[in-house]
């Protein structure tokens, strides 16, 4: 309840009001109505309105802040304080659906929760957790995070190495840590810097990646040092020598490797020094080119 007090000066009116109400200046809410005026002809006293300051709780201060924030964001929403014990819970009711308050993947409501937490914990030595929810978003998100955490934990155990999740805010990271806190196969830790800090799921019995003699722990394509040496170092291979016929060997259209032949056609009793594919037959002796007249202009086949 507020009362009006007068005095010759503003300070005199305030002192009079504080004494009458029995409160200190820190506990009072003071509003100066008139500073007063002194004069020979016309004068009037100073007037002040004094009332006991209403001390708001941490949650009430956070709600008051959000009431002023939503109009600035262009959102028609009403915050309501639903719990104030070990944690502060604020429920938001939106006039035109929840998407405008929640945002894509919860960016807006997470930012609103961070600001509300900062306001609620102003002047406090011990931090109080503040949760801002809209509809049933937090519960559904928590269930999704727990399901994803368990799925990725199974993957980390199967692969034998750590698996990282997407960057999350501290509230969501705590949910993941809590979901896997009792696991006998994995443990979790946070890495990175805000706002890109993320959770890493690490198996308690990891399998080392492939070292010497192996590419990885899955056994695919393991490198054999001795086989690699035989395969790549020793490139010179020995081929079995082929016996060439000594008689009736035709001249071919291949490449000469032993010098020029002395005459076209067959060379009785020796090899003419050419390599390649013979396209003629025994009736081609008269042509002297290794091709029959019918195949003289045809394409060579391999």
Between strands 198-203 and 186-191, the pairing is antiparallel
Distance CA 19, CA 170 (A): 49
What digits encode the pLDDT tens for the residues 236-274?
A: 555 555 555 554 444 444 444 444 444 444 444 544 443
Please, which residues bridge with residue 190 across strands? 199
Per-residue pLDDT band for 235 (boundaries 50, 70, 90) equals low
Helix (H) or strand (E) holding 149, with range, is helix 137-159
Tokens 């014990």, residue located: 85
Q: Is the pLDDT confidence value at 221 over 70?
A: no
CA of residue 210 relative to chain centroid, distance: 26
Give 148's Cβ-side CA count (13 Å radius).
17
> DSSP H helical segments within 2-136, as ranges?
10-21, 58-73, 99-102, 107-120
pLDDT of residue 80: 95
Residue pLDDT, tens place only, 91-115? 999 877 777 889 888 889 999 999 9
Bigger pLDDT: 128 vs 225: 128
Region 276-291 average pLDDT: 39
pTM: predicted TM-score of the whole model, two decimal places: 0.53
Residue 226 confidence (pLDDT): 52
Calculate the CA dihedral of residues 29, 25, 2, 71 and round it to 10 degrees. 10
For 292, counting Cβ atoms within 10 Å of its Cβ (0-12 exposed, 13-18 middle, 19+ buried), the class is middle
Give the tens place of pLDDT for each residue, 173-212: 999 999 999 999 999 999 999 889 999 999 998 887 644 4
| H helical segments located in 198-260 | 225-228
Q: Report angle CA 148, 197, 135 to the nearest 5 degrees.
A: 55
Six token digits for residue 6? 């007068």
Give the C-alpha separation, 184 to 207, whole Å. Answer: 16
Distance CA 35, CA 61 (A): 31
Q: What is the band of 1 on the pLDDT scale with cuts at 50, 70, 90?
A: low
Q: Which fold has domain 58-135?
A: GMP Synthetase; Chain A, domain 3 (3.30.300)
Joined together, the tokens standing for residue 22 give 């029995």
Q: Where are the domains of the chain?
A: 2-52, 58-135, 139-203
Residues 268, 285: Cα–Cα separation, whole Å: 12
CATH number of the structural domain 139-203: 3.30.1370.50
58-135 and 139-203: identical CATH topology: no
Average pLDDT over the chain, rounded to an integer:
76
């Amino acid at each position: 309840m507020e009362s009006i007090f007068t005095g010759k000066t503003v300070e005199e009116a305030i002192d009079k009001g504080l004494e009458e109400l029995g409160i200190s200046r820190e506990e009072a809410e003071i509003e100066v109505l008139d500073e007063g005026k002194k004069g020979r002809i016309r004068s009037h006293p100073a007037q002040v309105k004094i009332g006991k300051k209403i001390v708001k709780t941490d949650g009430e201060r956070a709600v008051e802040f959000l009431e002023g924030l939503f109009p600035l964001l262009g959102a028609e929403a009403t915050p309501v304080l639903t719990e104030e014990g070990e944690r502060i819970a604020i429920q938001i009711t939106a006039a035109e659906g929840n998407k405008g308050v929640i945002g894509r993947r919860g960016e807006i409501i997470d930012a609103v929760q961070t600001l509300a937490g900062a306001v609620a914990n102003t002047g406090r030595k011990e931090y109080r957790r503040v949760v801002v929810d809209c509809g049933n978003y937090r519960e559904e998100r928590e269930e999704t995070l727990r399901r994803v955490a368990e799925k990725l934990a199974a993957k980390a155990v199967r692969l034998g190495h750590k698996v990282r999740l997407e960057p999350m805010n501290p509230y969501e990271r705590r949910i993941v840590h809590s979901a896997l806190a009792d696991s006998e196969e994995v443990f979790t830790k946070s890495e990175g810097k805000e706002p890109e800090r993320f959770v890493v799921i690490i198996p308690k019995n990891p399998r080392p990646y492939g070292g010497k003699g192996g590419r990885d722990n899955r056994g695919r394509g393991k490198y054999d040092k001795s086989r690699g040496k035989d395969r790549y170092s020793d490139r010179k291979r020995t081929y079995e020598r082929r016996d060439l016929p000594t008689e009736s060997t035709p001249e071919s259209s291949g490449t000469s490797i032993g010098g020029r032949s002395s005459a076209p056609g067959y060379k009785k009793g020796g090899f003419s020094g050419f390599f390649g594919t013979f396209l003629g037959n025994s009736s081609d002796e008269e042509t002297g080119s290794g091709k029959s007249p019918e195949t003289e202009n045809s394409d060579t086949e391999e």
